[in-house]
Amino acid sequence: MKKTFVFLGLFLSLMSLGVRASADDGYRLWMKYDLISNPQKVKEYRESIKAWMVEGSSPTIEAAKHELRIALDGLLGSNIPEVSSVKEDGELIAGTYTSSSPFAAAGLKNMVIKVGQEGFVILREKVSGQNAIVITANTEIGVLYGVFHFLRLLQTEQDISSLRIISFPRIKLRMLDHWDNLNGTVERGYAGFSIWNWHTLPTFIKRRYIDYARANASIGINGAVLNNVNADPRIMTRHYLKKVAALADVFRPYGIKVYLCANFDAPIILGKMKTANPTDPRVQEWWKDKAKEIYSFIPDFGGFLVKANSEGQPGPSDYGLTQADGANLLANAVKPYGGIVMWRAFVYTYNAKDRAKQAYEIFKPLDGKFADNVLLQIKNGPLDFQPREPFTPLFGAMPKTNLMMEFQITMEYLGQGTSTVYLAPLFKETLESDTYAKGKGSTVAKVIDGSLDAHTLTGIAGVSNIGADRNWTGNEFGQSSWYAFGRLAWNPNLSSEEIADEWIRMTFSNDKDVVSSIEDMMMQSREAVVNYMDPLGLNMIFGYDNHYGPGPWIDYSPHPDWNSTYYHRADSLGIGFDRTKSGSDAVSQYHPPLSGEFASLTECPPKFLLWFHHVRWDYRMKSGKTLWDEICYHYYAGVDSVREMQKVWNSLKGKIDNEEWNDERMFLEIQEKEAVWWRNACVLYFQTFSKMPIPAGLEKPDKTLEYYESLKFPNAPGTW
């Protein structure tokens, strides 16, 4: 506890994220506490908040006080005094709910009971005879979450004259997974090197670490996996555990637990054993000893994330055992300490008839065989974070197993660091998908929040897009997806539009025209990328290895399912992967009536058509166009959308911070060029099979297919 107070004292005395610089470089994220531009709102808020107090003095309470101090002074443009007791109308009071709280008599007990260990209540009440705004919770972290929510109301200029907010997270574990390596690189990282400086830890504690914790706490994220799933086992040595413990000390006041990716062969590599077989008593003892050692450094260590038997990583299959056998080995080791294991379902072999079916085939038979402190972490789609995939059929297929979602916030297949893509619509598309596991309304969201199958250990993870770039995410709009992930992890029922509205107001401006313009741009951004990359259910046609740029011609990998041609299957007759009964029969992994809908050429949603069907080039679509023409129009529509985004953004010059405006202007210029590149390369390549002309009225490619095939990017960011 003393160590934590030292860390807080160090950082809270430094310049805050809330301090306004001469130009905005994006470092402050959505926690910009500049003076509210609407004078009427400033007056209204000053009358409602004449003073404030937070009960208690723990590190978490001190964090809440610090946030209120800098935010109220900044947003309202004057010093709002901190007081120690309620003396007059117009005070803001925060603290945990106890029988001795000054607001205990305000009738809050029944409301506070409902919000659990992390939720909060915000309302206007009489306290000691005075009109006050009360923020309370069962725990101190609940109070901190409530403070951030209240500040969000002020930042977005909401009405606070009549408050009655009861909020709690629907999902227990809300995680960021960092694919950061010990050498400072980041796999699939497009915002610079890792934010963790392992060389200078544990002694040198960057201000950035606590700003990271503040940002995550502001949106309810409560866990961070610090290292890459392709794990270097040295992270579990004493040398590195001291460094991990230092980060845990910084994060603890903000309700964030640290987790580590474990290498399944750690007993061999670190323990110098001859085997990592889960049935070997010596291996079991090694993991128990290692868990004991980790918890001696980090008493509230969260547990392990494991990638096993996938893409060269070791695992239980090496010993003829199941994935459950491997997961339960580690789960037993951390269980005495309250730890959990997140076991990734991203497991496949290289020569499968249909790679998209494999996770289901491997894990479905294991339902009910995982320990109760294991969560099976499943990607949103059955393949690999594509711009659009149907949801993974494992959601709805394993009612006896704790399942958690894995989204990718870093945009490995969505333009990486140069494209503007707001990912909330992708997240929502998956969460709202109906599995039909228990009839209509059995959505993926209900699977992962535990309500469908009565699970209490629930989770959602996002592969982080955070790096050492000053603005955290490279392209500042990447911050919107980090923000959206946190908000949806807290409440999956929020809409993409609601979240975009909040983020725009907190990041750029509360001006209605600015908000409306940027929101329109954001809401079309994901569909634009899908159109110029992977329309109508196409997938995995990216450049080999780096996944940057188009590569539908890739057919030289030694692993068939690493070739683009494996997925699009274009030939002289048509295009698409037949996953109906006449093909791989992947449709049978879904519950009726969805399985029948996907299997029907006429009923399959157009957005998944080529995912489930091999379709003739001259097939007549519902639009009246041939499939070939439809594909072309989608590719061209994607480019048109990016150009429209450029127009919208250019119209905002002078209405938002000029540095932020100019940065995005340049990114959109890059994106427009890349969109044209994708469109031209793909249309020209697929035309070699269709033998059909590009529809009249569409601009013709200005380069040859051979030109596009010759492009190489050996040092593209995120290359592994």
Residues classed as catalytic? 311, 384, 412
Q: Which residues pair with 173 in a beta bridge?
A: 459
Tokens of 16: 């805050």
| Rounded Cα gap, residues 67 and 54, in angstroms | 11
For residue 604 the two structure tokens come to: 């399959």
Number of Cβ within 10 Å of residue 581's Cβ equals 12
Return the CA Rg of the chain. 26
Helix (H) or strand (E) holding 641: helix 627-650
Buried-state track 649-662, b at ≥16 Cβ within 10 A, e below 16: beebeeebbebbbe
227, 178 contact by CB (below 8 A): yes
Q: Amino acid identity of 369?
A: K
The H-assigned helical ranges of 34-92 are 39-48, 59-76
Residue 715 is classified by DSSP as T
> CA dist 285 to 260, 288, 317, 329, 332, Å?
19, 5, 20, 10, 10
CB 658 within 8 A of CB 678: no
**Contact call for residues 344 and 306 (beta carbons, < 8 A):** yes
Q: How far apart are the first and last CA of the chain?
A: 40
Cα atoms in the 13 Å half-sphere on the side-chain side of 291: 22
In one-letter notation, the amino acid at residue 84 is: S
Long-range pairs, 695-704, Cβ under 8 A, ≥24? 695/629, 695/632, 695/633, 698/632, 698/633, 698/636, 699/636
Task: Specify the DSSP class assigned to residue 19.
Answer: S
Cα-based torsion angle of the residue sequence 613, 619, 624, 628 in order, rounded to the nearest 10 degrees: 90
Task: Using alpha carbons, select from 559, 583, 550 the residue that is nearest to residue 569.
Answer: 583
Answer for the pair 404, 659: CB distance below 8 angstroms, yes or no: no
